[in-house]
Structure 1
Amino acid sequence: MAGLGTGAPIVKVYHEKSIILPDVSRVLACLYEKEIDFTRETFSSYKSLLRLQASGHVPVPFYDGPNKFLEESREICRHIAETYEDHGYPFLLGKDSLERASIEEWLHHEEHNFNPPSRSLFCHLAFPVAEEDDDIDLQTRKLEDVLEVYEQRLGDSEFLAGNKFTLADLVHLPNSYHITNSEKFLYLYDSRKNVQRWWHDISSRGSWQKVLKVMHEVERQNKQEELDKQQQRKQEELEKQQRRQWRRQHPPTSRSPFRLDSREQPSTKPHTILVRPPA
């Protein structure tokens, strides 16, 4: 992926082949907000991740920046906002200790109250399991309680930590995106005027739109690769069937026109030659 050309040090983000996971898109949104050049590198399995760790090149894969290797997405976002304070959008962590304290309070609220039920709904949408309906109902009710708190808060301020977009809002983007793109759960946001307005504002930001563009392109490529693999498997199976059919149509004869005879000729090593049987 091309950098943004800001002259900032380039960092690397490691992730699984799919970019749909919230932890990945959360970090990308933060990098885009700070206008940091970065590259993405994928690993296809847990074994690949372990190999990266064992190599020593990336002791803790996921984020590889100057002298810093991080794994948890919120920790990565904090580090990016602190390290590149003078790049891109300047208010992710506020401008004074009071603003930072408010942001940290809502970051804690997101991680411990919003994320558990919203991530459950995301997993339900991405990897549905029929027998989990009772648990999903419970998680939905928990998320409704959280969003009621947000509805009241957003009636007093434009964003969660005040009147500026901050990291406290950004971390909500991935899970909220998948929930609001579901007909089943969209009402959770649309039925709350302030939450609906807030979601429209934060999801319309250029940083998140860039993440969606990357996400859709990666998923398109992954689908095409899977289609190519399916086509290759079909072709291989067809060739196997053709070989089996040919063998059925051309069975080996019971009598061979040749017999093997081992002879030793003077001044030569023993070898096997083909001798036609007598007429």
Structure 2
Amino acid sequence: MVNRVLGNVFSTRTQRVLFVLEELGVQYDFQSLDFAKAEHHASEYVSEFHPFARLPAFQDEKVKIFESRAISRYLAGKYSGSLTPPTDLVEAAYYDQAASVEHSYFEPPIEKLGFELVFKKQLGLGEADDQVVGYQTKLLLAALDYYESLLSKQEYLAGNTFSLIDIYNVPWVSFLEQRINFGKEIAARKKVAAWWAKVSGRPAWRKVLGRLPH
């Protein structure tokens, strides 16, 4: 069975997995699930692929995996390419530290801002809460300031080599630019902006974006 991804091209976490597959240059089948029809809540999908009714999910001849970071790590190990995480003790510790920063301090405020500034109104839940937006913006800017400091010492977020950690961040930075108008905060940080120019220009990411409707 070929690699199979179940997801939605507008999902940042689905984009993360597709980015990994494109970087690795391996074949895969993509099954799009329609958010509007709540296909990710279908009983078969929940029972077979994702018990929490989220996207994406993955299947090959050996396993079924959910959660984008777990899928990404599996794929990097399966194909033993340049995205394989380091094994050196110190390098691995810094790698895991960078992964934790993205997971704990970068993604959460963007997700909350996305809900307040984009999805809340679409779902008919009222206007954005200015207090929540202000607080989450403060957290996001602190994370971007940390990235600016980090990237003044190294080329990429986990060191001097492009890695899964960069891939984890890319869809969310794209969301900042395209959906909630925070592109100016990227541009205002020279090191972050230079990193973003490099990673967003990668052919694999351009292929992911090419799946989006024009």
TM-score bin (small chain): 0.7 to 0.9
Instruction: Provide the TM-score with structure 1 as the length reference.
Output: 0.66
Residue from 91, 102, 105 that aligns with 2:97: 105
Deviates more, 1:192-201 or 1:95-104: 95-104
Given candidates 50, 55, 80, the residue that maps to 2:75 is 80
Aligned to 2:9: 19
Does structure 1 residue 184 correspond to structure 2 residue 181? Answer: yes
* Overall identity of the aligned pairs, in %: 26
Work out whether 1:42 is the aligned partner of 2:32: yes
Q: Which residue of 1 aligns with 2:57?
A: 62
Aligned residue identity for 2:79: Y
- Work out whether residues 2 and 28 of structure 2, in 8 Å CA contact, stay in contact via their aligned partners in 1: yes
The one-letter code of the counterpart of 1:12 is R
TM alignment of 1:132-171, pairs within 5 A: 132-171=129-168
Segment drifting more, 34-43 vs 72-81: 34-43
Measured in 1, the distance between the counterparts of 2:168 and 2:26 equals 18
State the match for 2:124 in structure 1.
none
Higher RCO (CA-CA < 8 Å; seq separation 6+): 2
The answer as to whether partners of 1:43 and 1:49 remain within 8 angstroms in 2 is no
Q: 117, 121, 146: which one pairs with 2:113?
A: 121
- In structure 2, the gaps of 5 or more residues are 122-126
Q: State the SS of the aligned residue for 2:21.
A: helix
SS of the residue corresponding to residue 113 of structure 1 reads: helix
C-alpha distance in structure 2 between counterparts of 1:47 and 1:75, whole Å: 19
Cα distance 1:51–1:83, how it changes in 2: closer, same or farther (>3 A)? Answer: same
Select the residue among 23, 39, 61 that pairs with 1:33. Answer: 23
Aligned length: 202
Cα distance in 2 between the residues matched to 1:211 and 1:125: 24
How far 1:202 moved relative to its partner? 1.0
**Residue of structure 2 in register with 1:204 after alignment:** 201
Q: CA deviation at 1:19?
A: 1.7
Look at both structures and tell me which one has the larger radius of gyration over its CA atoms.
1
Tell me the SS of whatever aligns to 2:161. coil
Cα RMSD (Å): 2.2
Q: Is the 8 A contact 1:12 1:63 kept in 2?
A: yes
Map Cα deviations across residues 69-114 of structure 1 (whole Å, 9 max, x no partner): 111111111111111114xxx1452364433332221111100111
Distance 1:147 1:157 in 2: 15
132-141 or 27-36: bigger deviation: 132-141
Residues in 2 aligned to 1:43 and 1:181: alpha-carbon distance in whole angstroms: 22
Q: Following the alignment from structure 1 to structure 2, what is the Cα–Cα distance between the partners of residues 196 and 63?
A: 32
Unaligned runs of 5+ in 1: 1-8, 221-279
Instruction: Tell me the secondary structure at the aligned position of residue 214 of structure 1.
Output: coil
Q: Which TM-score applies when normalising by structure 2?
A: 0.84
Q: Secondary structure at the match of 1:40?
A: strand
Q: Secondary structure at the match of 1:36?
A: coil
**Paired residue type of 2:90:** L
Aligned residue type for 1:155 = S
